[in-house]
Amino acid sequence: MTTRILIVDDEANIRRMVGALLKSEEFEVAEAANGNAGLLAIPEVHPDIILLDLMMPPGPDGLATLERIRAGDRDIPVIMMSGKAQLADAVRAVQMGAFQFLEKPLAPESLLVAVRSAETLVRTQAENRALRQALGPQPTLVGTSPAIERLRVLIAQVAPTDARVLILGESGSGKELVANAIHRYSPRARGPFVSVNCAAIPRDLVESEMFGHERGAFTGATDRRIGRFELADGGTLFLDEIGDLQLEAQAKLLRVLESGEIQRIGAERSQRVNIRAIAATNRRLEQAVHTGAFREDLYFRLNVFPIEVPPLRTRLADIPALVEHLAARLRPRHPPHFTADALAALARHSWPGNVRELANIVERLTIIGGDEVTGDLVPRVLNRPGSYPPPTTSFVDNGRGLTDRLDDMERELISGAMTAANGNIAEAARLLKTDRGNLYRRMRRLGIRGGGE
């Protein structure tokens, strides 16, 4: 999408020369001859960046115009320009929210650097808004069990600090929820909370995803990309499934955590970022360090304050509160009522998929039960307690050979494990006591789709 720039200057010559320069760089340009005209143009042009002259007699000057712009839009970058400004004017402009202050005569290189920097800010703001929207309403820790109360105490202890946190726990237990709570109760709460699933990034795109790239940095890089570290500047970066990060990417991550600097692929220089790193994993990283699958130095960098999230089976007393919360989230105006026998039946399940599995089951029960969910409905949607559906293949002679029938059994076992794990490959592999790569291969051979395929 083309960046729109509004030039507000009383000198037609300046507007013409600056406009020509920006158009040659493929920016979309609009002009206004004074402050009032600029203010009227903003709702029509919807500029991404404003270039604003300081001295524009006889109407409102640049500072007065900036004040009115900020009253209506606190985010739009405004670059001030002047050939007669005093230092006090520049300081005042920055205090009022100007993005940068340029002296006339304008040097093309300086102007373009300022505009490109403002453009980066605009894109970062847009991506942050999209990320916040994707996160939806702020999640909350639900429950009053001793396990969840201990978790709240740990969050309260570490949140006000800037310490790195390593969150441990099974898949679906709520590790991102804990990371989000730490961010919300920290001094960085007004900054972005950016989450990245390390297990979901293709190996050859890790550096681009984490640190960003410049246009033309490699084949297919048709535009500049802002990396997750840059998006999280001033806030918190949540590195989910950190145990699945490749060793090469671990080394680059360690360098950034040590230096506080990133460099986009294709960029000529590095830039500093101010982020708090929170990592999470369902693996035992000590064992991965012992086998050489995870760097020891990175482990110690991340494991400043470990927090273990309890699995749902250790806090079954929280199920009524969780069910009420999940049901209200599904149908805020008229949440369904779960009867006592329904809640008791749910509490008898061992929940291998943890809260994520419970959310899935509550949604199914809400669809089936309507306004009231009774105990007789629960067995219809629950798998065998603590497991996944056993194979139902008949052993009578049905004309199929041993290989085909073994494939049928394996297909049912894998499909059942995937259902219990709510589609999470890593968790399904854990349930089946195999590694994820082996499970992927078996699923491909058997024609089972899942895990993002």
**What's residue 134's pLDDT?**
53
- Residue 357 in this model has a pLDDT that exceeds 70: yes
Q: Which of 161, 157, 155 lies closest to 179 in space, CA to CA?
A: 155
Question: Of 123, 156, 190, which residue is a domain's last?
Answer: 123
Cα distance between residue 443 and residue 432, in whole Å: 13
How distant is the alpha carbon of residue 244 from its chain centre? 17
Find where tokens 């920055």 sit.
94
- Nearest Cα neighbor of 435 from 299, 291, 249 is 291
Per residue in 37-75, is it b (16+ CB within 10 Å) or e — as a string? ebbebbeebebbbbbbbbbbeeebbbbebbeebeeeeee
Q: What is the pLDDT of residue 157?
A: 93
pLDDT tens sequence across 287-317:
899 999 999 999 999 999 999 999 999 999 9
Same domain, 197 and 300: yes
User: Which of 16 and 448 is assigned the larger pLDDT?
Assistant: 16
- Among 381, 411, 433, the domain boundary falls at 381
CATH number, domain of 225, equals 3.40.50.300
Decide if pLDDT at 397 tops 60. Answer: no
Any long-range contacts for 95-101 (C-beta under 8 Å, 24+ apart)? 96/63, 96/66, 96/67, 96/70, 97/66, 97/70, 98/52, 98/66
Residues 28, 160 within the same domain: no
CATH number at residue 20: 3.40.50.2300
Which residue reads 């470990």 in tokens?
Answer: 306
Question: What's 326's domain CATH number?
Answer: 1.10.8.60
Q: Classify residue 150: in a domain, yes or no.
A: yes
Domain end (from 287, 308, 329): 308
Residues 48 and 159 in one domain: no
Nearest alpha-carbon partner for 414 in 364, 453, 449, 382: 449
What's the predicted TM-score (pTM) here?
A: 0.57
The answer as to whether 319 is a domain residue is yes
CA distance 447 to 426: 18
Among 27-31, 85-89, 116-120, 282-286, the least confident range: 85-89
Q: What mean pLDDT is reported for the chain?
A: 85
Question: Is the model's pLDDT at 222 over the cut of 80?
Answer: no
Q: What's the confidence (pLDDT) of residue 382? A: 81
421 near 352, Cβ under 8 Å?
A: yes
Same domain, 255 and 164: yes
* Confidence at residue 19, expressed as pLDDT on a 0 to 100 scale: 95
SS3 content of the chain, % helix, strand, coil (to 5): 50, 15, 35
Q: Please determine, for residue 125, whether its predicted confidence score (pLDDT) is greater than 90.
A: no
Per-residue tokens: 130: 């999209």
Q: How many domains does the chain have?
A: 3
The 8-class DSSP code of residue 290 comes to H
Residues 289 and 155 in one domain: yes
In a domain, residue 411? The reply is no
Q: Which of 133-147, 170-184, 339-353, 388-402 has the lowest mean pLDDT?
A: 388-402
For 432-451, the DSSP string reads: TTS-HHHHHHHHHHHT---T
Asked if 216 and 339 sit in the same domain, the reply is no
pLDDT at 387: 45
Residues 167-194: pLDDT tens digits?
999 988 999 999 999 999 998 888 889 8
Residue 286 sits in the same domain as residue 357 = no
- Let me know if residue 448 belongs to a domain: no
* Secondary structure element (H or E) that encloses residue 52, with its range: strand 49-53
Which residue range forms the structural domain that includes residue 246? 146-308
- For the segment 230-273, what is each residue's pLDDT rounded down to a tens digit? 888 889 999 999 998 889 889 999 999 999 888 888 888 888 88
CB atoms within 10 A of CB 233: 19
CA distance 383 to 11: 75
Q: What is the pLDDT of residue 73?
A: 67
278 within domain boundaries:
yes
Same domain for 158 and 74: no
Residues 62 and 97 reside in one and the same domain: yes
Residues 421, 387 contacting (CB under 8 angstroms): no
Residue 98 CB burial class (10 angstroms; 0-12, 13-18, ≥19): buried
- Of 339-343, 395-399, 435-439, 445-449, the one with minimum mean pLDDT is 395-399
Measure the CA–CA gap between 101 and 79, rounded to whole angstroms.
6
Are 161 and 269 part of one and the same domain? yes
Q: Show the tokens assigned to 313.
A: 């089976």
Q: Is the pLDDT of residue 393 over 70?
A: no
More confident residue, 124 or 348: 348
